[in-house]
Amino acid sequence: LDATKTLKCYILAYKKALLIACCVLVVLILSIAIGVSVTYSCTGKFRCGTSSQCVRKTARCDGVTDCDQGEDEFRCVRLSGRNSVLQIYTGGSWKTVCSEDWNETYGNTACRQLGYSRYGNSSSLPVSEIEYQFQKDLISISLSQPAGHIFKIHNVTHISRTHCTSGKVTSLKCLECGSRPRYSPRIVGGNESKVGQFPWQVSLHFEREHLCGGSIITSRWILTAAHCVYGFAFPSSWTVHVGITDQPVAGGMAYTVKKIMHHKKYRPKALHYDIALMKLTTSIINDGNVEPICLPNYGEEFADGKMCWISGWGAMYDGGEGTVAMNYAQIPLLSNKVCNQPDVYQGFITPTMICAGYLEGGIDSCQGDSGGPLACEDSNVWKLAGATSWGLGCAEKNKPGVYTRITECLDWIHEQMEREEALF
């Protein structure tokens, strides 16, 4: 009997100890989870890339490197709104630059910080003509050092203002882009592209075979989809063909690739941030049939229902072979709300994606078009709204094409270009 009681007591004590241990373990797990959540939330602070490191917002773009990889001293200038107004990040927020005391040296510096190799032009614009959200915080540049010694535009002394003395702000253009100087719109008939119709379209060849499309965004940079290069980021295996309309390649020019990079947040199964950049070994020669397409500005969105264009050498049906001639189609942009409906993509569309096409099907991008442009025209200027990413089947009902939303990736694009430009 005593032995039985002892055994029962032992079992009871063991159960209590096990229960306590489980409780302690749960508390530890929750503590770690909360700690990680707090660490990764960076609430009210600036996150250093994809790491858990955070710095004060006021420490960003202050001329002192705080992040391990220096992310806090990149992306300190941007072009915003439909008028490309220049903004500088300083004092913990974005501020629009007034036009007083502005000069071309500042323009050249700002363009290099955006990753462009040269300066285009700048102009003054009345504050009343820009979007309201860019009118709130204004700043003037105060010349505090010899113009030739300016390396970072945000490191020059600034004067915060509630209004511009001149009543005007700075509009900046770093690149001639988005035009089709050799294409005549009077050419009609069929959906096969003519030379110069989409001068920013490129054919990306992997081991001498067309694999994906892409877009020229500067003379040294090609934008494409991450899933095209993921696992195949060997620059020597790729060739970029420009100024062509037919496969196999006939005419045009071919360029070798120096460097390939894809977004750090890209995940093959999820297809978030499905975007990549190729840096060319030499600069593309623009001749009217070969021209860059403009990147959109910050705060510039494309309206739902807007008619835009897709192009490429993709298959004409799901599982088919790629085409000989480059084809194109005009399709409407769809809201993410429509695209996330239960009978469409059931909530899989994220803010980094944009849908375009017809819910009834019939016209769509397909295999081989990946990475190619979703191009939209506004006032005779063509801008890159998306890069062909994915879809279920090709041209099927309730399954429109899904594209990487370029406006959600501008920070990443300009940071990569700026980092490379800083190497020169």
At residue 395, what are phi and psi to the nearest 5 degrees? 60, 30
In a domain? residue 398: yes
| Backbone dihedral angles phi then psi of residue 319, each to the nearest 5 degrees | 85, 0
Burial 173-188 (b: 16+ CB within 10 A, else e): bbbebbbbeebeeeee
End-to-end CA distance of the chain: 88
Whether 379 maps to a domain, the answer reads: yes
Identify the domain boundary among 157, 174, 191. Answer: 174
Domain that holds residue 91: 76-174
Tell whether 340 and 273 lie within a shared domain.
Answer: no
In one letter, which amino acid is 333?
A: L
The length of the chain is 424
Whether 370 is catalytic is: yes
3-state DSSP assignment of residue 353? strand
Instruction: Answer yes or no: do 218 and 145 share one domain.
Output: no
Write phi, then psi, for 400 (nearest 5 degrees): -70, 170
Q: Which two tokens stand for residue 353?
A: 């994606």
Per the CB < 8 A criterion, the answer to whether 374 and 354 are in contact is yes
pLDDT at residue number 183 = 83
CA distance 256 to 204: 10
Structurally, the chain folds into a number of domains equal to: 3
Catalytic residue among 227, 241, 262, 414: 227
Q: 114 and 86 in one domain?
A: yes
Q: Is residue 322 part of a domain?
A: yes
For tokens 């994606």, name the residue.
353
Residue 366 has what pLDDT?
Answer: 86
Q: pTM, whole model, 2 decimals?
A: 0.86
CA–CA separation, 117 and 355 (whole Å):
32
Q: Return d(Cα 81, Cα 144) in angstroms, integer.
A: 29
pLDDT tens-digit map of 148-182: 555 788 777 677 778 898 999 999 999 999 999 88
Instruction: Provide the sign of the torsion angle of the four alpha carbons 232, 237, 242, 247, taken in this order.
Output: negative
Last residue of a domain, one of 292, 322, 345: 292
Same structural domain, 311 and 288: no
Query: Is residue 186, in this structure, part of any structural domain at all?
Result: no
Is 369 an active-site residue?
no
Q: Give the angle 204-205-211 at the CA atoms, nearest 5°.
A: 75
In a domain, 54, yes or no: no
> Do 165 and 223 lie in a common domain?
no
Taking only Cα atoms into account, the Rg of the chain, rounded to an integer number of angstroms, comes to: 26
Q: Which is nearest to 159 in space by CA: 252, 88, 65?
A: 88
Shared domain check, 136 and 84: yes
120 & 161 share domain: yes
Tokens encoding 80: 């915003």
Look at residue 47 and tell me if it is in a domain.
no
Output the domain CATH number for residue 387.
2.40.10.10
Is 98 in contact with 126 (CB distance < 8 Å)? no
Q: What is the DSSP letter of 237?
A: G
- C-alpha distances in angstroms, 60 versus 72, 88, 92, 174, 414? 5, 11, 7, 24, 16
Task: Dig out the tokens for 163 from the structure.
Answer: 């209004």
Tell me what pLDDT residue 411 has: 95
Task: Specify whether 218 is located in the same domain as 283.
Answer: yes
Q: Which of 80, 370, 389, 414 is catalytic?
A: 370
Instruction: Tell me which DSSP letter residue 297 carries.
Output: P
Within 8 A by CB and 6+ apart from 31, the residues are none
Q: Is residue 154 one of the residues assigned to a domain?
A: yes
Instruction: Single out the residue in 155, 174, 193 at which a domain terminates.
Output: 174
Structural domain contains residue 360: yes
pLDDT tens for 330-356 read 999 999 999 999 999 999 999 999 999
Residues 170 and 82 in one domain: yes
Give the start-end residues of each E strand in 69-153.
77-80, 85-90, 93-97, 121-126, 138-141
- Mark whether 334 and 257 lie in a shared domain: no
Q: Residue 370 carries which DSSP code?
A: T
Does residue 286 sit in the same domain as residue 311?
no
Residues 116-125 as b/e (b if ≥16 CB within 10 A, e otherwise) read bbebeebeeb
CA distance 53 to 196: 47
Contacts of 203 (CB under 8 A, 6+ apart): 210, 213, 214, 240, 241, 244, 247, 249, 313
Q: Which of 80, 203, 205, 274 is catalytic?
A: 274
Per-10-residue mean pLDDT for the chain, 424 residues long? 45 52 49 45 84 89 90 94 95 93 90 92 95 92 58 76 90 96 59 91 96 97 98 95 91 95 92 96 95 97 96 87 91 97 96 96 86 96 97 91 97 95 65
> Do residues 399 and 312 share a domain?
yes
> Would residue 274 show up in a list of annotated catalytic residues for this protein?
yes
